[in-house]
């Protein structure tokens, strides 16, 4: 049927977003999705959003999707679902960008530069540097396949809410979901993929781009960040 005219009247306003502010817009297909007579609902979506709003949009989006999938389970989705996250960039305290040759020998130099950079903001860098080491090694070996002409790109940024380290290689990527969800035998020292386990132990969040050739490590800004 036709939409009543009063429902099509809108007002305009202008808001200045502060650095780090995040806006979530969602279609009714997400909010009104039903399972056993219950709707997913605005309150559940709001709860997830408020729990993670300060993180990068890529992480927020995945937590929303994960929570929705846990709600819906095997049931059929009955409407189109769209949600949009808009975040104004954080005001970075400092940022460091590095380019690394695709060799294991270059890893130590990158680690030293990142350690020197982070010591102005955090006293204990050991676990974070272990995570960095594992991801750099993966980029050289599994991402760039030891090809000497390829590079690894590292970016470290610090703001009032978290430290973010991104590592990107020039490879074809991999099925990171399979690796992240794999059950490992910790007694088997020969098993591949344990570097991902070590990485997650040193960070609060680890996430990949869809292709799988870029990983971001997030360390939350608790009292350890100056």
Could you tell me the pTM of the whole model? 0.79
What range does the domain containing 148 cover?
Answer: 94-220
Residues 74 and 164 in one domain: no
**169 closest CA partner among 99, 78, 97:** 99
Low-confidence ranges of the chain (pLDDT < 70): 1-3, 7, 92, 179-194, 222-226
Query: What local confidence, expressed as pLDDT, does residue 168 receive?
Result: 98
Residues 126 and 66 in one domain: no
Residues 11 and 79 in one domain: yes
Query: What local confidence, expressed as pLDDT, does residue 134 receive?
Result: 93
Tokens of 20: 């780090």
Residues 99 and 189 in one domain: yes
Angle at 188 between CA 187 and CA 189, to 5 degrees: 105
Query: What local confidence, expressed as pLDDT, does residue 133 receive?
Result: 96
* Residue 209, domain member (yes or no): yes
* Alpha helix positions (H), 34-167: 42-52, 57-72, 105-118, 126-138
CA 225 – CA 46 distance, rounded (Å):
28
pLDDT in tens, 9-63: 778 899 898 888 999 999 999 999 999 889 999 999 999 999 999 898 988 999 9
Angle at 143 between CA 60 and CA 102, to 5 degrees: 120
Query: What local confidence, expressed as pLDDT, does residue 185 receive?
Result: 60
Residue after which a domain boundary falls, among 87, 113, 139: 87
* Residue 225, domain member (yes or no): no
């Amino acid at each position: 049927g036709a939409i009543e005219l009063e429902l099509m009247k809108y007002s305009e306003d202008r808001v200045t977003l502060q650095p780090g502010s995040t806006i979530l817009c969602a279609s009714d297909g997400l909010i009104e999705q039903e399972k056993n007579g219950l709707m997913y609902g605005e309150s559940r979506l709001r709860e997830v959003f408020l729990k993670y709003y300060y993180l990068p949009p890529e992480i927020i989006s995945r937590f929303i999707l994960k929570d929705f999938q846990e709600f819906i389970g095997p049931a059929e989705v009955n409407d189109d679902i769209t949600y949009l996250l808009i975040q104004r960039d954080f005001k970075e305290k400092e940022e460091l960008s590095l380019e690394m040759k695709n060799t294991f020998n270059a890893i130590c130099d990158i680690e030293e530069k990142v350690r020197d950079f982070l010591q102005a903001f955090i006293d204990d860098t050991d676990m974070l540097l272990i995570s960095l080491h594992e991801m750099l090694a993966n980029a050289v070996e599994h991402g760039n396949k030891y090809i000497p002409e390829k590079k690894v790109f590292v970016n470290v940024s610090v703001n009032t809410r978290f430290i973010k380290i991104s590592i990107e290689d020039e490879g074809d990527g991999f099925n990171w979901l399979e690796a992240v969800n794999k059950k490992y035998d910790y007694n088997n020292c020969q098993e591949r993929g344990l570097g991902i386990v070590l990485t997650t132990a040193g960070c609060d969040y680890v996430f990949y781009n869809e292709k799988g050739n870029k990983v971001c490590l997030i360390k939350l800004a608790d009292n350890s960040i100056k």
